[in-house]
Structure 1
Amino acid sequence: MAMLLALALAAQPAPARPQEVLFIGNSFTFGATSAVLRYRANTVDDRNGDGIGGVPALFKLFADQLNIPVIVALETSPGKSLQWHFQNKQTQIDGLWDQVVLQEYSTLDPEKPGDVARSIDFAGRLARLIRARSPDAKISITSNWTRPDLTVPAGQPWSGQPMTRMALDLRRQIDRVVRSHPQIGKVNPVGEAFNCAIAAGVADANPYDGIDAGKVDLWGYDHYHAGTPGYYLSALVIFAGVTGADPRRLGDRETAANDLGLNPAVATKLQTIAWQMVHGGGCKPEAVR
């Protein structure tokens, strides 16, 4: 009997090795101006010791709920570009990684909004640095959302443009980064997911003039960073892209949404939008439940 039990146990597949995932970014990564900032910080490895949970902690929780084994780390600093991380944080970035998620400054170049030259340069340097230690690491880069504070007030780089325009401009430039560096294999279309949430009537298009009934504000009080719904959507998009999982499987009882006070109906709509943007061929507003 003991021999049969031993043979049965030996025949079982070994548990999957957890994927090691590193996030490199800034306040957009760590959830500034929202309850996401310190959320479940004990579940991730903050390489800077700042006690951050942020989007990486949401990512980790989504994976745990769907039984996807991951170990998640982050190296983040507010208001920083990829250039800064390369020049100042190579020790914290160093490691053996299966997946690395890059997030550039909100306007790409802090001094020249919308200019992609430095992003191309330093995203490439980071990719080569990562691949030197982890030759098989899969590297993705996130395309950021529109900043209403740079769109609605006069005298700003995107003043007078539709709220969706900045995100589309940023995506075009991030595509240039990926074309320049084959090591970076994927874009996480977070900005376009924000646009889709607006098109689907889930989110309000302009937080400056009040929030329409039945809609959510994706942005924080500064109309710059995201709010909790925006970071939730960002984490869903990155989760779907990095793991290949269907975020709709999380459903209306998803733990983070409950903890952070998101309406379950809103949470499932954001899950659907994330799935559409990553796996469903693009935004289909009429199909958002």
Structure 2
Amino acid sequence: MRRSRFDVLLAAIHPRLLGLMAWGVFATQAGCASLPESEQDDLESTTAAVTSGNILFVGNSFTHGNEEPVYSYNKAAVTDTNGSGQGGIPGIFKKLTTQAGFTFNVSLETASGQTLRWHHTNRAPTIGQATWNTVVLQEQSTTPLPTSRGGSPTAFTDAARDLRTLVRAANPSANLYLYETWSSPTSVSAQGYPSGTAGLQAMQTDLRDAYFKAYRDLGFTGVARVGDGYMRAVDQNLADPNPADGISPGMFNLWSAQDSRHSSKYGSYLSAAVLFAKITQADPRGLATGTGSAAADLGISSADAANLHRIAYEITALPDPVVNVPTRLRVTGATFTGSVTGGTPANVTGNAQLVSLTTSEGTFTNLVGATANGITSTNTPSARGTVPANANVASTGLSIHDGTNNLNTGHFQFDTALTTKTRFFIVDSTPTSTTLGDDATVTLVNASSQPVGSYSLALLASDFTGSAAGNTSTALATVSYTSGVASLTGNPVGTVQSKLGGVSFSLADLGVTDVASISSATGLRISSATLDPNVVGLYTVP
């Protein structure tokens, strides 16, 4: 009926600080110092440096490389789980970590041209192994782009979320990084961006926003800003932004001469250097460039390698970009009228109305309820009563006793304008024996229940009101269902108790930066294998 969910916090006592204290001495001895704390204040401060263990790279040719000398580089020192003889960027990463004195067991699971969804569908047994301490995910190069640019950001987010769940189910303490890819002259043209450097910058901004939105929404460890490193090299006149007219003197080409889309040896080396800096939190400027180094193996001069190391250092030391100001908030209080028995929390025993919700922004009573249209589920609604009359309108208005058990997809329509002051809310139900909250994906829809643009949000169970299994003290209310599936009502009916929690979020959390761009939006699509939405609605903050 309902799946239990758990996450292990990666940092109980500021582990990154502890990691850097230990690493600072070790790395200096190895000839590669840690990134200075003063320049790392805005990086993921609760993430420990990773300097050893089993690391898996998941991606396509942007990871395994598209041509020699990168494709098979250092293949004997890494494990290609598909047996294709690839070394690629993981092979370079392995060599860089060896140069720094670290001990990683590096593996790659890659397939040319494929998406993260493909890997989840076809390579789950490999990816979902408890042996991985660290996993790096690289999405197909255009999938994270806005739909107007030929992308499918919802597909990217959903696949990243599913892979995160797969990895953490096998190893709850695993580090998960997103590998931000790059814009390219070929992709800029194909996806309808302006030509030249302006188009490269615009495409990279869209990629950056998509990766950082997924990082924040889904709870990844961090983002390796490889694509931003490419643009920094262009901005500093180190990389030629238009290789088609020849490489300018003193510059190098980050992209493959074959297609101006994949990485060249310079782009691949920069990719590995950024991954090295982000994951180990070591300063790549201390990496060797002479005989026997990865740079020398690839035919990259010491001067160019030093610049690439510096770019990797600078891009990793930057504060994380602000995509949107988050207003996703737990609901911490609620009041009800109707068939309610007072207490802490109150107990709903029949049809009741939700009167107010409280978040850190305040208490709000101007609530607008939503009607679920066309809910589909393998289970019948938890409690239907006489109104609403059927499963397709099971969650109606603000009737808190009408829940839908294990929602698959529901369309909730509102008859009100959406503004920057709009706050949506979901009130979720779960048996008191389990932890409150469920993962769900929310998408803006129009009056025909079709998606509006690419505006979606992946909610985690931890976003909802916190209430541990077997405890109701912090729940918004308890519920004694009098009709519905036996596992929720009990036998005799009403003997199994459930509890309520909620989450609030805004258009900004959905990725909306311009309200005019979503003028056709009239409601929400909510998808989840486990969410039990008692009521969905909105209110307006002052």
TM-score (norm 2): 0.47
- Supply the distance in 1 between the matched residues of 2:51 and 2:272 (Cα, whole angstroms): 22
Contact 1:150 1:159 in 2 (8 A): no
Taking the TM superposition and a 5 Å limit, the aligned residue runs for 1:259-274 are 259-274=297-312
Q: Give 2:263's match in structure 1, choosing from 226, 233, 247.
A: 226
Residue 164 of structure 2 aligns with which residue? 127
Residue 286 of structure 1 aligns with which residue? none
- What SS does the corresponding residue of 1:163 show, helix, strand or coil? helix
Q: Give 1:192's match in structure 2, choosing from 222, 228, 237.
A: 228
* 2:137 is the counterpart of 1:102: yes
- Supply the distance in 2 between the matched residues of 1:18 and 1:140 (Cα, whole angstroms): 15
1:5-60 deviation line (CA, Å, top 9, x unaligned): xxxxxxxxxxx994111100000000113411001101101111111100001111
- In structure 2, give the amino acid aligned to 1:137: A
Measured after TM superposition, the shift of residue 174 of structure 1 is 1.1
- Supply the distance in 2 between the matched residues of 1:277 and 1:75 (Cα, whole angstroms): 26
Q: Give 2:246's match in structure 1, choosing from 179, 204, 210.
A: 210
1:147-199 deviation line (CA, Å, top 9, x unaligned): 21122x4x6422434322211210111112112211x1211101110000011
- What SS does the corresponding residue of 1:164 show, helix, strand or coil? helix
Residue 38 of structure 1 aligns with which residue? 72
Aligned positions, number: 264
Q: 1:89 to 1:231 in 2, by over 3 A?
A: same
**Any gaps of 5 or more consecutive residues in structure 2?**
1-49, 321-542
- In structure 1, give the amino acid aligned to 2:231: N
- What SS does the corresponding residue of 2:262 show, helix, strand or coil? coil
Q: 1:169 to 1:245 in 2, by over 3 A?
A: same
- What SS does the corresponding residue of 1:139 show, helix, strand or coil? strand
Query: Which is higher, the Rg of structure 1 or of structure 2?
Result: 2
Residue 62 of structure 1 aligns with which residue? 96
Measured after TM superposition, the shift of residue 128 of structure 1 is 0.5
Q: Give 1:87's match in structure 2, choosing from 121, 128, 152.
A: 121
- Supply the distance in 2 between the matched residues of 1:172 and 1:111 (Cα, whole angstroms): 10
Residue 213 of structure 2 aligns with which residue? 176
1:72-111 deviation line (CA, Å, top 9, x unaligned): 1110000000000000001221322111100000012699
Q: 1:58 to 1:17 in 2, by over 3 A?
A: closer
Residue 12 of structure 1 aligns with which residue? none
Q: Give 1:75's match in structure 2, choosing from 86, 103, 109.
A: 109
Say what the alpha-carbon RMSD is for the aligned residues: 2.0
* 2:196 is the counterpart of 1:162: no
Contact 1:34 1:220 in 2 (8 A): no
Contact 1:98 1:136 in 2 (8 A): yes
Q: Give 1:24's match in structure 2, choosing from 55, 58, 62.
A: 58
- Supply the distance in 2 between the matched residues of 1:57 and 1:102 (Cα, whole angstroms): 16
Runs of 4+ in 1 over 3 A off after TM superposition: 109-112
Q: 1:139 to 1:209 in 2, by over 3 A?
A: same
Q: 1:202 to 1:110 in 2, by over 3 A?
A: closer
Residue 201 of structure 1 aligns with which residue? 237
- What SS does the corresponding residue of 2:85 show, helix, strand or coil? coil
- In structure 2, give the amino acid aligned to 1:261: G
Q: Give 1:139's match in structure 2, choosing from 169, 176, 195.
A: 176
- Supply the distance in 1 between the matched residues of 2:314 and 2:202 (Cα, whole angstroms): 20
- In structure 1, give the amino acid aligned to 2:163: L
- In structure 2, give the amino acid aligned to 1:164: Q
* 2:279 is the counterpart of 1:279: no
- In structure 2, give the amino acid aligned to 1:173: A
- What SS does the corresponding residue of 1:29 show, helix, strand or coil? helix
Residue 6 of structure 1 aligns with which residue? none
Greater RCO, CA 8 A, separation 6+: 1
- In structure 2, give the amino acid aligned to 1:195: M
1:256-281 deviation line (CA, Å, top 9, x unaligned): 11111111100000000000111255
- Supply the distance in 2 between the matched residues of 1:215 and 1:50 (Cα, whole angstroms): 33
- Supply the distance in 2 between the matched residues of 1:173 and 1:131 (Cα, whole angstroms): 22
Contact 2:145 2:210 in 1 (8 A): no
- What SS does the corresponding residue of 2:287 show, helix, strand or coil? helix
Contact 1:34 1:226 in 2 (8 A): no
1:186-243 deviation line (CA, Å, top 9, x unaligned): 1110111000001111111111221110000000020110100000000000111111
- Supply the distance in 1 between the matched residues of 2:80 and 2:187 (Cα, whole angstroms): 30
Measured after TM superposition, the shift of residue 251 of structure 1 is 3.4
Residue 22 of structure 2 aligns with which residue? none
Q: Which moved further from structure 2: 91-100 or 240-249?
A: 91-100
- Supply the distance in 2 between the matched residues of 1:142 and 1:206 (Cα, whole angstroms): 24
TM-score (norm 1): 0.87
Q: 1:42 to 1:197 in 2, by over 3 A?
A: same
**Any gaps of 5 or more consecutive residues in structure 1?**
1-15, 283-289
Contact 2:60 2:114 in 1 (8 A): yes
Residue 187 of structure 2 aligns with which residue? 150
Give aligned-pair identity as a percent: 36
- What SS does the corresponding residue of 1:74 show, helix, strand or coil? strand
Judging by fraction of residues, say which structure has more helix.
Answer: 1
